[in-house]
Amino acid sequence: MRVIHIGVLSKPYDVLLGKNILNEVGPQTRKTAGGSKAFVVSNVNVDPLYGEIVNKSLRANGYKTSSMIVGSGETIKNMTELANLLENIAAAGLTRDDVIVALGGGVVGDLAGFAASVYMRGCKIVQVPTSLLAMVDSSVGGKTGVDLHHGKNLAGTFFQPSTVVISLNCLKTIPSRLFNDSIGEVLKYSIICDKKLFHELTEFPLSQNNLDYKRLEKIVMRCIEIKRDIVIQDEKEHGVRQILNLGHTIGHAIEAESNYQLGHGACVAAGMCYIARACAKLGKCSFDTANVIQNAVSAYGLPTIYKINPESLFKRALIDKKRHKNMINVVLIKSIGSVEVRPISLQELREIILVSSIPLEE
C-alpha cells in the first residue's frame, strides 16, 4: 500500500493507494476524522458491490452507520439532490464532529463533498473513489460542487477531505466505457507536465481487460503526485492550479450540450483536441503535437470533435467559472508536457472555437 501526503496548508491529509484496501476505510476514518457517526453516500451501481464492505469496516471501528443511495450519472449532481442528501444526513443525527463517506465515482464525490462542506458549516468528508477518473483527479484537491441549469459545477466549494482511500480492484467492476472515459483525465495530466507518461500511455495503452495493478498503481500515483504538487502551490485556483483545466472550458460546454450523455473524461479529451487544433493553427504548438494528441485520444475510443455548431459551442463556453468580465482564462498547449494559462478576450475564445471546429487536414 502506498501513502501519498497532500500537504495543503488548510488541511493536510494522506491518500492511501493499493489493491483490495477497502477494509482500511474504517481504521483510516477513525484515525483522521474521528466522530461517532458515519454517513455513507453511494450510488445504485456501486453500493451493491462495496457498500457492505465499507459499512462493516466503519462499524468495526466504532461508528454507527447510515447511508443514502443516489442514482448514477451527472444528472443527479444538482441542487435538489443536494438538499435531499442534507435532509437525510440531518435525519441520521450527524453533528459537525461526524463524518460523511463518499463511496463512488466523481459525481458521488462532488455531491457528498459539497454536502459535507455546508452541513452545519462543515463536517468531515472521506473520499473512497471507485472510478479511475475519481481516483486520479476528483477525489484529491478539495473541489466539490453540483451543476446548475446554466452549466456544470457552477455551485461548489473548496473543501479538503480527511483522507482518501483508493482500492484499485474496484476498477474491475466499472463499465468499460467508464474506464475508457476516465483516460481523458489521465491523458490530461501527461499533456500538462509529463511527456514520459504521455508516451507510456500511447505506446502501451491502459486496458481494463487485463489490468496490470503494479503499472496502474504507478500511473494513478503519478497523476496524484502531479495534482498534489500543483494544489500545494495554489489550493483555490488563483494561479498555477488553472493548468489542471486543460480542455475543460470547451469540454464542459460539450458535456452540457450533450445533456451529460457524454462522460466528463470524454468531453475533456475532446476539449483538449479542440485546443490542440487551435494552438497548431495559431502557431502556439506544432501540427505534429496536435496530431499526436488527437491520435492518442482516438486510440482510446474518445471523441476528438463534437458535432455541434461552433456558435452554439461558444455560447455554452461563455458560462464558465474561469470567465472574468469580458476575459476568460484558457490553457494553451505549447508541446507535450508544457502548457500555459493565458487570459484571452471572449472574441478570441470565439475564434479559437471556430478555427478548432475544422479538422487539421482541412
* Catalytically active residues, by annotation: 121, 143, 185, 227, 237, 241, 245, 248, 252, 264
Give me 329's grid cell. 482564462
CA distance to 127, 181, 329, per residue, from 71 (Å) = 18, 19, 33
Q: Which residue's C-alpha cell is 500511473? A: 219
Q: Of all helices (H) and strands (E), which one includes residue 144?
A: strand 143-148
Query: Which parts of the chain fold into alpha helices (H)?
Result: 25-32, 52-60, 79-91, 106-118, 132-133, 176-193, 195-203, 213-233, 248-257, 264-281, 287-299, 310-317, 346-356
Output DSSP code: residue 305. Answer: -
Whether residue 131 contacts residue 174, with contact meaning beta carbons closer than 8 Å, is answered with: yes
Burial letters 181-198, b for 16+ CB under 10 A, else e: bbbbbbbbbbbbbbeebb
Report the C-alpha gap between 96 and 142 in whole angstroms: 18
Report the C-alpha gap between 140 and 5 in whole angstroms: 11
